[in-house]
Structure 1
Amino acid sequence: MTQDLLDLLDVAGLTGRGGAAFSTATKIRVARKHRASLIVNACDGEIGAAKDAYVVAEHLDALVRGASIVAGRRRVRYAAHRGSATEARLREAGLDVLSAPGRYVASEETSLISLAQGGLARPMTKRAPFVRGGTDSEGRRIRPTLVLNAETVWRVAQVVDHGPEWFRRQGLPGEPGPRLVAVGGAVESPGVLDVVTGTSLAEILAVAGADPAHVGPVVVGGLGGVLLGRDEALRTAWSSAALAEFGGRIGPGVVHVLDQRVCPVEEMGRWLDYAAGESAGQCGPCMFGLPSLAADWHALADFGPEGKPARRRLAQRAQSLVDRGACRFPDGVAGLATSALRVLDDHLAEHARGRCGAHPDLRRTDERHSFTH
């Protein structure tokens, strides 16, 4: 059965649906070799993420069956954020639940492995191949553990049920199979859609009930994704191949529409503030770099010439955060901020002149930054 499963997944081309898009067959192959236990990650740790909650709510039986197919006789645990509806549903089903803190980084792969083995729910600074086992930064032995996103595990069951050819026929050749995407923000019907790569973002937004008159910039991929301008989003396909033009990828399956009637600079400031508060508290790029990045953003978003030096600082700081954290969280946020600088260039220029394009009647009145309408 093991070899048959791996052959099926290889032919299907299933990749992880949690964001990394790594070959699922390859991960399971190594996990089986090292007798790794399985953690099914249903945390939905991203802003706007909802697809794993959807899988648990709507396809729990198939999810459990997929987990048993992957794990064989090894232990299976289901990770969910503490106090969430997903955790409650998993417990009601009598499953072995790993309760994770409600922080963004707590649902990172190595954070869950650490938590499952008696440590803190934070990324391990030594990037050992934990599907094979390894040692963390404190010299603690980590048992072989495989972490798969809940949607990925559900898709395993679908490949077994419907065959790899059914799976491979859907989507693009390089990104095959059905995929879930959570659409939120300025849409009438926020929620989770089952789509395929190559579908236009315009079609996805239309299904979610976005009013074209109110569509502003669009965040694709969440905190580790990119900001697209309105026109860019409406002409771009939802695929990592298409998003690469803008330095983006599908990521964890999140699309968030900004409202054209709301200042996008203020909105992005809220995203960066959230990111700054999600540090695991173990490395400088997260603890200090992200709050400084958010502060730079607020300074450049201010009404007046102070934004110009802040813009230079932010661009330099974002570049300095890359590949320096214990996990990829700082890299992702830096990429989002950099894309926002590009997309909101004209809007930021208006702020520097003391006005706001989203609120033409709003202007700076004095050095204490009070405003009049």
Structure 2
Amino acid sequence: MNGRALVIGGGIAGVSAAYALAPHFDVILLERESTLAYHTTGRSAAQYIENYGVPAVRALTRASHGFLSDPPDDLADHPLLSPCAVMMIARPDQTQQLEAALIAEGGGAEMKRLEPKDALELCPILRPEYLGGALLEEDGADIDVAALHQAFVRGIRKHGGEIRTDAGVSSLEATTGGWRAASSGDVVEADLVINAGGAWGDQIAGLAGIPPVGLVPKRRTAFMVTAPAGLEDSPMIVDIDEQFYFKRDGQQILCSPAEEVPSEPCDARPREIDIAIAIDRINDATTLGIRSVKSSWTGLRTFVADQAPVVGEAPDHPGFFWLVGQGGTGIQTAASLGSVMAALVTGTRLPEGIGPEVIDDISPHRLFRTPREATP
């Protein structure tokens, strides 16, 4: 063991990092809520999409595929992935965006350009007059978020790691050679800290006097409606400009306006206007004729300005590591980000497919460079 690692946050980022660090450190994970994954992770409708996000995110997604497709036998009781293609659709006035998406494909799964008639065969509820074309990523998949999160939790406990709930951090300070955190009347001493606090990440850093990285939580709402017959094999449908999406989920359809509305860190709740906007857009594009909603929820997806995660040691604060800013890709990149974190902390080998350019793109140091330093 290399000492003690304190992980703050019990969402998918925190448990993935704790799992990857547990073979090397005495790990303690602190979660302020009474249950793990209460906020964004627990409200995620995650999809594995290689052609999504900035280049660093796409590389991290590909590097996570091995764990997602073949997790260790003792960590998952059933497959974490189930096939579900992703089809991006465009109105006639949006077809240029389809071409731009094809150009940006580089390195990811193959995307096929589809004519409207081909898209209608895959999703017959689309309106023919709405479609100008589509792109299909056949290698997409649904991710069992709960099972993935539980796999990391099992791995933490297998290696003797400790998980505490109802354990919010009220103070955090550097000590000689380490860190000290106050949590629910207890004091935790550690050699290093992993800040996986999601929307609260800047606030956690502020407890220790560490400059913020500029996290912006953004709302994302989803809701369920009754599914008609005949959609069992339909791909997930995404508007090319991310104005809405929907996908089959058992006997229902999960829908979203795909909004990105800035918010303070909070326990987000759905707004009627966001659901109404999504219903209007989806009804324009399909024959679903949505009139009522069975259930709804809202989570916060947290970003920094360049849309890449923030992963690595804080400048001028040895032993404090950021693991935040995953936006809407935290589930599909979790496995590789946990491994990246362990590699950065221990100085061991990075995951396959993750090179120095990716590490530079996600390093917190990039956010504090002067314009001259940032110029290649």
Q: TM-score w.r.t. structure 1 length?
A: 0.29
As a proportion of its length, which structure holds more strand?
2
As a proportion of its length, which structure holds more helix?
1
Q: TM-score w.r.t. structure 2 length?
A: 0.29
